[in-house]
């Protein structure tokens, strides 16, 4: 299976958690890693190139820090620019049919904070639903997300352990992830 990870972190070099996740993935030759903020510092996304790249991979993972209950703005722009009517959805928009999509996100909050009654009121799965709806509207298969909670307070050992689990998660079969 060919896997592409699109990392969308505005300050990846300053992120302990996302750097740890990305560093672990770099050890795996079967995973292509792309840094969206490094590739598009001027925010002018090459739509045709991105669409060609999407066609080359079986699974696409969007890795980003979770803040303000969403993804970073360049990734949102990427979704808006790349997943176009007539290509990703609508009449003739079947290019992503059968592709697998996954979210990998980090949050400073604990898992207890992301539940009914917690200070964020909703689970991460519930808060990621707009992205899930977008990807399924584009005929993709949305797989369970990988979440690293409490990333801000996590020790180096904790982040290394999470990174190992992350690499296993995104390389697992779809059947193993949903059953």
Domain count along the chain: 1
> Range of 15's domain?
3-178
- Give tens-digit pLDDT for 134-177: 999 999 999 999 998 878 888 889 999 989 999 999 998 888 88
Provide mean pLDDT across the span 45-62. Answer: 97
| pLDDT attached to residue 154 | 80
pTM metric for this prediction: 0.94
CB 4 within 8 A of CB 60: yes
Q: Which residues contact 9 (CB under 8 A, 6 or more apart)?
A: 15, 18, 35, 37, 63, 64, 65, 72
| pLDDT attached to residue 38 | 95
User: Domain with 59 in it: what CATH number?
Assistant: 3.40.50.360
| pLDDT attached to residue 94 | 94
């Amino acid at each position: 299976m060919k896997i592409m990870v699109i990392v969308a972190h505005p300050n990846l070099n300053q992120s302990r958690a996302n750097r740890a996740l990305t560093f672990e993935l770099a050890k795996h030759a079967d995973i292509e890693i792309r840094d969206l903020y490094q590739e598009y510092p001027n925010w002018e996304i090459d739509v045709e190139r991105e669409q060609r790249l999407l066609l080359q991979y079986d699974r696409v993972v969007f890795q980003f820090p979770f803040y303000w209950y969403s993804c970073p703005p360049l990734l949102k722009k990427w979704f808006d620019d790349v997943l176009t009517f007539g290509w990703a959805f609508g009449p003739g928009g079947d290019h992503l049919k059968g592709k697998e999509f996954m979210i990998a996100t980090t949050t400073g909050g604990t898992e207890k904070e992301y539940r009914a009654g917690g200070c964020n009121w909703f689970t991460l799965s519930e808060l990621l639903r707009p992205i899930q709806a977008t990807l399924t509207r584009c005929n993709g298969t949305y797989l369970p997300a990988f979440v690293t909670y409490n990333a801000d307070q996590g020790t180096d050992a904790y982040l290394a352990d999470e990174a190992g689990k992350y690499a296993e998660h995104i390389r697992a079969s779809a059947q193993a992830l949903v059953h």
